[in-house]
Amino acid sequence: MLRRRPAVAGMFYEASRERLLNQIRSCFLSDVGPGYLPTTPIPHGEARTPFLISPHAGYMYSGPVAAHGYGRLTNYRRPEGIIVVGPNHYGVGTEVSLYPGGVWSTPLGDVRVDESLNRELMEASDIFYMDETSHTMEHSIEVQLPFLQYLLGEISFAPICILDQSLETCRSVGEAVAEVVEGRDILLIASTDFTHYEPHKTVLEKDSKALEKIVKLDVDGLYRVNEEYNITMCGYGAVAVVLTAARLLGYRRVAVLKQATSGDTSGDYGSVVGYASCILELAE
């Protein structure tokens, strides 16, 4: 069986099960986090499953921000499937890649790759490739999994790693995702950090411009302000995928649950990275 070993356990998050569980709990209870522990495994709520935008830095920096989005999942139906979209930081592999099958291992256990969702995505568009290489060292998708395991227990998911974050490509991916997700309770997650390595105040100001476009589901506007203001989002294409799918599927209510920087968790405000947790809800 194909098995992806964790690439950043022991660096971005704790490498042992008990330490990782405690680290996730501390993210929820942090002053920067939501300040509560969600019920686990999450109950079956009434509202349709939302979409999320979530950061992917080390948990000691961005984990409390990510906890805002994940904590809100307790208000919604338990997802019947999960798709996580992240950028390819390493420049290897194919332009838009799905992991072929098997499992991804984390300190909390194995997460099965949803081969059924993979097939549906491949049938929806020829833009996808089946490719292990793109995923081997990439952390942007991996760091979402322990939060999902903590909240949901045993899960399966389809990982989409995007090397080509051009507007045209990400729109096409978003359209294919929308076709597969339509009418179903699929949790769709875009993994991104925002502005990198600038002073805290500057990062908040820049990232606010991107978030203004995100809450309006304005994909063109997001690309425009990123270029105009040099907003160094690493996963802007992943966000474009989710915004495109959201517009097509009627997810009109978008809220920024938390905006912060690594300075808020580390105490060093001189050169920081920006994070945000956003939720997109279906307008019913």
For every residue of 142-184, DSSP letters joined together read: GGGHHHHHHHHSS-EEEEEEES---HHHHHHHHHHHHHHHTTS
pTM score, two decimals?
A: 0.97
Look up the CATH number of the domain holding residue 91.
Answer: 3.40.830.10
How many domains does the structure of the chain reveal?
Answer: 1
Which residue shows structure tokens 């490739």? 129
Query: What single DSSP character describes residue 48?
Result: P
- Average pLDDT across each block of 10 residues of the chain; the chain has 284 residues. List them in order: 96 98 98 93 78 98 98 92 97 96 98 98 98 97 98 96 98 98 96 98 98 98 97 98 97 96 96 98 80
pLDDT value, residue 62: 98
SS3 111: strand
Task: Determine the pLDDT at residue 284.
Answer: 63
pLDDT of 246: 98
Structural domain that includes position 220 = 3-281
Sole residue written with tokens 């905006």: 259
Rounded to 5°, the CA angle 109-102-162 comes to 95
Answer whether 59's CB lies under 8 Å from 134's CB. Answer: no
